[in-house]
Amino acid sequence: MKQDFEKRNAELEKKIEQLEEEKMHLGLDVDVQKLEIEKLRKGKNKAEEDLDSLKTNYKKLRLSKQTTGLGKTSKQWRQEIREEKVKADGWEKKFREVQTRNGALEKSLSENRKEKCELKDKVTELERSLHQYQSQNSAMELRVSLSKIEEMKGRIEELESAL
């Protein structure tokens, strides 16, 4: 009975160690994902700034085209405008991709936080279970000790009466 309890106790301790290790790894994963999200946010902000800059440059270019020819033909201006539009479209596409990645990372982070909470609950439950098993084992050991004491008392009485 005691061996079964010790075996169960060892299994529970191994399970707790595994859960704590898993908890640590999840914490590291969350930290890595936070860093990735921050990196993506910075990239997103840079892309937004670049897009705003391109839009400003585009507006200035249009205004310049309207006010002065600067020696360019309208065909040249149209070509430059097309190129700027292509660049702006590229930045907008990049921006949407970053937004999509941010959404996926935030969802993953949320899921990892939920899983971390679930693991914490599991560890707490296992700790309670271990404490309960330890208490039961102590009670069983006390009962065995009491019965041995009673048995020894009986033997002592037998020996005293034999003397």
Whole-number Cα distances in Å, 127 to 12, 22, 24, 119: 9, 16, 17, 12
Comparing 103 with 61, the larger pLDDT belongs to 103
Q: In order of start, what are the domains of the chain with their CATH numbers?
A: 2-162 (1.10.287.1490)
Q: What is the pLDDT of residues 4-22, one digit of tens each?
A: 878 888 888 888 888 888 8
Residues 6+ apart with CB under 8 A from 70: 64
Comparing 150 with 67, the larger pLDDT belongs to 150
Q: What is the pLDDT of residues 40-49, one digit of tens each?
A: 889 889 889 9
Q: What is the pLDDT of residues 105-148, one digit of tens each?
A: 999 999 989 988 998 998 899 888 888 887 777 778 888 888 88
140 close to 9: Cβ distance less than 8 angstroms: no
What DSSP state is assigned to residue 72?
-
